Amino acid sequence: CPSSPKQSSSPSEKCGVLNVTKITENGKKVRKSWSSSWAVLQGSSLLFAKGQGGSTSWKFGNQSKPEFTVDLRGGSVEWASKDKSSKKHVIELKTRRGTELLIQSEIDTVINDWYRTLTETVSTHAWE
């Protein structure tokens, strides 16, 4: 997936540009800070790399380290309630370790795809 600009349809590997912000880290509330990130799902790990959007984003694999990674095993995925963000199409991701992220895209087909893939990933890896 990082070696190709095309999005993979396999649930274990998917990538694309998303807006992301942490809202909680290890159980502690953190200040929201939305940024456009290149997101890569590999197995149950979701990696984000800042500033890798646009046409060169697929170079991520050999170009930069992920800014942060979350482990989806034992986590949850749901559509964020209105009080979490004023933006449209926002998904709330919670990890077992108490990190909460919001991910968002203006493009509803893009975010719906991520929602489907992430819920599949969480249910597939729930008991590992």
Q: Which residues bind ligand I3S (CB under 6 A)?
A: 32, 34, 85-87
CB 2 within 8 Å of CB 15: yes
Q: State the nearest-atom distance from the C-beta of 88 to ligand I3S, in Å.
A: 10
Q: State the nearest-atom distance from the C-beta of 32 to ligand I3S, in Å.
A: 3
* Of residues 32 and 97, the one with the C-beta less far from ligand I3S: 32
* Of residues 44 and 85, the one with the C-beta less far from ligand I3S: 85
CB 74 within 8 Å of CB 96: yes
Q: Looking at the chain, which runs of residues are DSSP E strands?
A: 13-25, 28-29, 35-42, 45-50, 68-71, 76-79, 90-94, 100-104
Neighbours of 72 (CB within 10 A): 23
* Of residues 87 and 125, the one with the C-beta less far from ligand I3S: 87
Q: State the nearest-atom distance from the C-beta of 22 to ligand I3S, in Å.
A: 11
